[in-house]
Amino acid sequence: MFNYKTYLIFLFASLAVSIGLQMILPFPYGLGAALAIFIAFPLLLRRRYMSRMRGYGDSGTGTGGGFFGMNSSGGGSVRYVCLVCNNKHKGGTCPRCGSKMQRADF
pLDDT reading at 53 higher than 70: yes
Higher pLDDT pick, 99 / 48: 99
Q: How distant is the alpha carbon of residue 94 from its chain centre? A: 31
Q: What is the pTM of this model?
A: 0.43
pLDDT reading at 97 higher than 90: yes
Give mean pLDDT, residues 55-62: 47
Helix axes 27-52, 4-24, angle to 10 degrees: 160
Confidence class of residue 11 from pLDDT cuts 50, 70 and 90?
confident
